[in-house]
Amino acid sequence: MRTKIVAGNWKLNNNKKESKQLIKDLKESIKKLKLKDTRVIVAPTFVNLSSSVKEAKKSKIEVVAQNMHQAKNGAFTGEISADMLKAIGVETVILGHSERRTYFNETDAALAEKVDAILENKMETIFCFGELLEDRKSENHFKVVESQLSNALFHLKGEDFKSIILAYEPVWAIGTGETASPEQAQEMHAFIRSIIEKKYTKEVAEKVSILYGGSVKPANAEEIFSKPDVDGGLIGGAALKVADFTAIIKAI
């Protein structure tokens, strides 16, 4: 049985006080939920990671990073290494988010290096990928997704996927209010699983958790999560509101 995951990407939001309060409120909100096979994850900004880890201690909430540099150290002003994250108790990193690809020009090649660094440090990644609106309109979305996965991940061994969570995010449905239909999400997730099976084995494909990330809200979460190849969600704006995020967690 694949692990169900609801991950909240806080992006550039919440100062230290706000981050701690949000985690405190979320702990209280979900403490009575039965989350035996479900992981609850939040990703604050770098400066709030350490205090957030402390606030989430002994709770069902995991704190992860929004990004990481592939180098161990060096002249990379403003960057954060795997060792720095591990030193404060962070073991999982979101990589390849569409905003990192678009605004910071992250390439598949650079992401492949980051994934390698994750594995070398015995960490875990939530690896994001997905097509633009023009790719979807030109019916090129399957090809784009396969290329992103192949370029960044398919140099790995099958066993490495134990440390990888996939997050499909149709870029046209992020922060736009648009959402891929549950059927569209299922179609793409099934396709993703099929190309992993083709490259590796059915066992590898069946065990990897694939999250959907694209304007998931309390109103649509249950229907999206009900699809057989959707194992949870990477949540943006709704993760900043305790009531909404809790409702989405309940929907899993």
Contact (Cβ atoms closer than 8 angstroms) between residue 49 and residue 68:
no
- Measured in residues, the chain has a length of 252
Whole-angstrom distance, CA of residue 10 vs CA of residue 164: 20
Q: Is 141 a catalytic residue?
A: no
Query: Using the 8-state DSSP alphabet, how is residue 173 labeled?
Result: G
Q: Is 120 a catalytic residue?
A: no
Instruction: Kindly state the tokens that stand for 239.
Output: 């993760």
DSSP β-bridge partners for residue 7: 41, 234
> Which letter, b or e, does each residue of 17-56 get, where b requires 16 or more Cβ atoms within 10 Å of its Cβ?
eebbebbeebbebbeeeebeebbbbbbbbbebbbbbbebb
Going across the sheet that includes 61-63, the strands are: 61-63, 38-43, 4-9, 232-235, 210-212, 164-168, 124-129, 92-95
Return the CA Rg of the chain: 17
Catalytic one of 106, 141, 169, 189 = 169
Catalytic one of 62, 69, 97, 106 = 97
Whole-angstrom distance, CA of residue 164 vs CA of residue 167: 10
Catalytically active residues, by annotation: 97, 169
